[in-house]
Structure 1
C-alpha cells in the first residue's frame, strides 16, 4: 500500500544575513539558517503522524513546506503519487490545494476579525469555485459549522464573539470546506485551555473516523500526541532523530533525546520521584554543533558522535539516528 504523503529529504534554509551595506562595511558573509535539514517520512491514508520537539526545531517549517506555503531548498514531497511542489505551481495546483489544507496554531490570528463566520468558512468554497453566493453556500457553511459542534446560527457573528476553543473550531470548519484528504495541523490546541483542548482533539478524531482524513499533527505536548497519533516523529534542530509507532515510542524510546522528553512528563504513579528535566539548552541553529547535533546534551556521546552525522536508519524495529543505539552503548 503506497502512502498518501511521502516527504523525501525535505530541506529549507532562510537567508538571515545582515543588510548588504553592513556586510560590505563589516566584511561579513551571507548567513543561512537551516530550519529543516533533510527530513523524510511517509503517512498512510487515514493515519496520523505527529511531529514533536522543542520550540525552534523546524516543525512549523515542515508544515508550511507540505502545504506549499514555502518552497523547499532541497528535496520534495509526493502527494498521492504526484510531485506536490511541481503541481502547486501549475493550473492543476488549485485541485491539489483543495485536497491539502492547514489548521494554524493561533485561532486569534488566523481568522479575519472584520469578517463574519459565514464569509470566513465560505471563502474556500467561493475561491475554489465549489459554490457561488446564495442559499446553497449558506446551507453548506451551516453543515460545516454543525460538523465541528457549532450552530448554523453562529454564521452572522464575528470572531471576537467566540472563545478560543470555538474559534479553533471555526478554523477546522474552514479547513474542511473543500473536503480535503490531508490536513496539516500546526499545534492546533496549544493556545487553548486543557479542557478545551480535549474537546477540539475529540472533534478532530471524530472527523478523521467519519471522513477518512489523514493528519500531520504538530505539537510539543506529548500528552496530546499520545491521544491523537498513530506514528510519532521526534525532531531536533531541523532533523528527525526517531520515528516509531506511538505505543513503541512511549514504551521503549530509543534515542537519548526522546527519552529525555518522555522523562520530563509528570506521571501520577511516580509521585515523589524526582523528574529528570531536559538537560542543557538548544544550540544556536545558526551555528549547530558538528556531527550529531544532540551530542553536547547527550549522556551517551563519544568522539564519533562529535564528528559523524548519524543517518536515520532502522534499528531495533524503529527508525532512529543515533550512533549510541547502533553500537548498543546504552
Structure 2
C-alpha cells in the first residue's frame, strides 16, 4: 500500500491520507484503531472493493537477495480473500458443502478441474478443523466459532495471495476466540494474513 488516500464521492474530506503499509509474504499484519478511524475503509481498498482516490496497492516479489524479480502486480479482488465481521450474515446456502463451493463450475466433464477443486476443498476443510462437521449441515446452525471456521474455509479454497479478516473475534466467547487464534497462527505459515481490529485483548 503506497501513499493511498481515499475521499468518498461527493465530499471534500479525506477519510484516509497517504497510508503506507508493507506486508511481507507469509506474515501476520494487524490494523488496530478505534471505531470510525477508517480501518474498514482501508480493508475495502486493499480487497479491491473500493478504489483509492490516489496511491497504489500492489504485490512486489523479491529474490532472496532482496532485489525485485519482476514488475509490481496489481492486487486484484480475485487474489484477496476477505472474511467480514459476523460472516454468518453473508451465508447464502443451506448446507456447508454448497457454502464452501459456492461459485465453483457446475458443468460436467473436466475431470482434472474436478480433482483440483476436490483437493482444495479437502485441504480447506481440514485446515480450519471442519472435517468433523457433516457437509449437509445448515451453516446457520453452527456455533459462532464454527461459523468463523466455515467463512475461513470458503476463502481458503480460492488460495488467495492475501487473507483479510475484519474483527475475527467479535461476538465470540473466550473458548471460540482461543480456537480462532489457534487456527490463525497455523494459517500464517501458509499465506499472508491481515487482521483488522479495535480490540487487542
TM-score range, shorter chain: 0.7 to 0.9
Aligned residues: 188
Q: Tell me, in whole angstroms, the C-alpha distance in 2 between the residues paired with 1:180 and 1:136.
A: 15
- TM-score calculated relative to the size of structure 1: 0.51
1:49-198 maps to which residues of 2 (within 5 A)? 49-80=29-60, 81-84=71-74, 88=76, 97=78, 99-112=79-92, 114-123=93-102, 125-126=104-105, 137=117, 140-151=120-131, 153-198=133-178
Does the 8 Å contact 1:131/1:137 carry over to 2? no
- TM-score calculated relative to the size of structure 2: 0.81
Measure how far apart 1:33 and its partner are: 4.8
1:8 matched to 2:2:
yes
For residues 11-50 of structure 1, give each alpha carbon's deviation from its aligned partner in whole angstroms, at most 9, with x where no partner exists: 22223xxxxxxxxxxxxxx544532222111011121121
* Structure with more relative contact order (C-alpha pairs < 8 Å, separation 6 or more): 2
**SS of 2:51 mapped into structure 1:** coil
For residues 175-208 of structure 1, give each alpha carbon's deviation from its aligned partner in whole angstroms, at most 9, with x where no partner exists: 1102223111111111212221111111011122
For residues 159-184 of structure 1, give each alpha carbon's deviation from its aligned partner in whole angstroms, at most 9, with x where no partner exists: 11101110100011111102223111
| Structure 1: tracts of 5 or more residues without a match | 1-6, 16-29, 89-95, 224-330
Corresponding residue for residue 43 of structure 1:
23
Does the 8 Å contact 2:28/2:188 carry over to 1? no
Q: Tell me, in whole angstroms, the C-alpha distance in 2 between the residues paired with 1:133 and 1:149.
A: 24
Pairwise CA RMSD: 2.6
Q: Normalized per residue, which structure has more helix?
A: 1
Q: Tell me, in whole angstroms, the C-alpha distance in 2 between the residues paired with 1:51 and 1:63.
A: 9
Measure how far apart 1:157 and its partner are: 1.3
